[in-house]
């Protein structure tokens, strides 16, 4: 029996296998008007194809809890009922195919209001449906980026409320997994890292203060999310600053991640989705197959929190080994699922497990 194709249980939810789809922004929603942030036929086809292909859990792209929380004006949102209604079509289809639908709840913070990557990815202003971002501290992401507004205490409370309401809407939309996006230099991660958080109030300074916002967001989500359904948290295990001896900038570390994982567990998080980077520009990262797996492995070894590994996991036997050796409880695939929506079916065949194939496609088995 393949470890990769063993079901995995989180609370009462049984996910049919350990091949999961990582959130990947599509930059394909309307930027303004009544359809702003609403899932389109593109999003349906994109997510449905991976369910048809046998993926066990499909997570949406970073889905903004507020208009100003979008990475780009063309991102998905979950701040109104029109967005809820559009998502129901997707979640209904995924569940009918035996795939668990999950949503990543996000706020981009200082990295908001940018163009799609194929349009350069730079900041956009009001003439291109943009806005001034917000952040823990008034520090631009990089040269040429706007200085964000520093969130006030009231503004922080408002964002926490937005996460709560977004989770409530996500449940109404049919999602069974909620993931808080605390990685890649977006707002929650900005609060966590001393590189981006220079506040002197209760949300800045030492670890406990910098972690306060993340824990309040998780608390708000868990408050409205059913006890029998799981909440995930995506983390950048490191800013890749202290790992580079020549880089004198202070950032978030793997030690910090292990410490936070223990607190997240106590706040009701069921699994840590372990990625890295994205918070500081100009960072040197040595990548390679499975280069982020050791971060997930350490969290799993030092806490009782389940983990998912991500990052250049491309081959079935590579993924199988990660799970079989207990380095992670699941793998999240990104680009590889863009290349091959049926990766899970192909991997199941290669590993000797029975692929999950729709009746309409049985002639191809």
267 is catalytic: no
pLDDT tens, residue by residue, 7-29: 999 999 999 999 999 999 999 99
Q: So what's the pLDDT on residue 354?
A: 87
Q: Give the mean pLDDT of 61-75.
A: 98
Quote the mean pLDDT of the chain: 96
Delineate the domains of the chain, giving CATH numbers in brackets.
3-364 (3.20.20.70)
Q: Identify the pLDDT of residue 284.
A: 87
pLDDT mean over 252-262: 97
pLDDT classification of 248: cutoffs 50, 70, 90: low
- pLDDT for 337 equals 98
| pLDDT > 90? residue 365 | no
Mean pLDDT across 295-306: 97
Rounded to an integer, what distance in angstroms lies between the CA atom of residue 72 and that of residue 59? 19
Q: Which of 27, 186, 195, 203 is catalytic?
A: 186
- For residue 273, pLDDT over 80 is answered with yes
Beta-carbon contacts of residue 255 (< 8 Å; ≥ 6 apart): none
Residue 52 has pLDDT above 90, yes or no: yes
Neighbours of 97 (CB within 10 A): 18
Residues 6+ positions from 63 with CB-CB distance below 8 Å: 75, 76, 77, 78, 103, 104, 105, 106, 166, 170
pLDDT of residue 156: 98
pLDDT digits 0-9 by tens, 275-285 = 999 999 989 89
CA distance 226 to 112: 30
pLDDT band at 245 (very low <50, low <70, confident <90, very high): low
Token pair 């009701």 in the structure block, residue: 268
pLDDT at 355 over 80: yes
* Over residues 93-115, mean pLDDT: 98
Q: pTM score > 0.75 for this model? A: yes
At 120-174, the pLDDT tens digits run 999 999 999 999 999 999 999 999 999 999 999 999 999 999 999 999 999 999 9
pLDDT in the model for residue 164: 98
Q: Which comes out higher in pLDDT, residue 62 or 356? A: 62
pLDDT of residue 2: 97
What's the confidence (pLDDT) of residue 99?
A: 98
Angle, alpha carbons 104-220-168 (nearest 5°): 60
* Region 340-348 average pLDDT: 97
Confidence at residue 342, expressed as pLDDT on a 0 to 100 scale: 97
**Three-class DSSP category at 134:** strand
Cα 203 from Cα 155, distance rounded (Å): 12
Q: 144 exposed, middle or buried (CB, 10 Å; 0-12, 13-18, 19+)? A: exposed
Q: What whole-number distance in Å separates Cα of residue 302 and Cα of residue 47?
A: 34
């Amino acid at each position: 029996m393949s470890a990769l194709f063993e079901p995995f249980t989180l609370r009462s939810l049984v996910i049919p296998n350990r091949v999961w789809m990582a959130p990947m922004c599509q930059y394909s929603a309307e930027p303004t008007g009544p359809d702003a942030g609403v899932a389109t036929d593109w999003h349906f086809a994109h997510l449905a194809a991976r369910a048809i292909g046998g993926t066990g859990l499909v997570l949406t792209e970073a889905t903004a809890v507020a208009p100003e929380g979008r990475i780009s004006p063309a991102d998905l949102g979950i701040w109104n009922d029109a967005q809820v209604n559009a998502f129901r079509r997707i979640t209904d289809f995924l569940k009918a195919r035996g795939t668990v639908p999950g949503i990543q709840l996000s706020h981009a913070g200082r990295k908001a209001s940018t163009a799609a990557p194929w349009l350069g990815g730079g900041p956009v202003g009001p003439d291109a449906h943009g806005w001034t971002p917000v952040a823990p501290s008034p520090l631009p992401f990089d040269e040429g980026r706007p200085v964000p507004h520093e969130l006030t205490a009231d503004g922080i409370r408002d964002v926490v409320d937005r996460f709560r309401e977004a989770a409530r809407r996500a449940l109404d939309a049919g999602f069974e997994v909620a993931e808080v996006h605390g990685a890649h230099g977006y707002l929650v991660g900005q609060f966590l890292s001393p590189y981006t958080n220079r506040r002197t109030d209760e949300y800045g300074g030492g670890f406990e203060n910098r972690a306060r916002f993340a824990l309040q967001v998780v608390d708000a989500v868990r408050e409205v999310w059913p006890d029998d359904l799981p909440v995930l948290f995506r983390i950048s295990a490191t800013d890749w600053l202290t790992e580079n001896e020549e880089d004198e900038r202070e950032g978030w570390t793997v030690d910090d991640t292990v410490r936070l994982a223990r607190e997240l567990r106590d706040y009701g998080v069921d699994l840590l989705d372990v990625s890295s980077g994205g918070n500081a520009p100009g960072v040197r990262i040595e990548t390679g197959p499975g280069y982020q797996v050791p971060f997930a492995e350490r969290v799993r070894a030092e806490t009782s929190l389940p983990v998912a590994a991500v990052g250049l996991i491309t081959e079935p036997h590579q993924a199988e080994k990660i799970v079989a050796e207990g380095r992670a409880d699941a793998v999240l695939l990104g680009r590889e699922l863009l290349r091959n929506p049926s990766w899970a079916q192909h991997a199941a065949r290669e590993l000797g497990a029975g692929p999950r194939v729709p009746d309409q496609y049985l002639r191809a088995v």
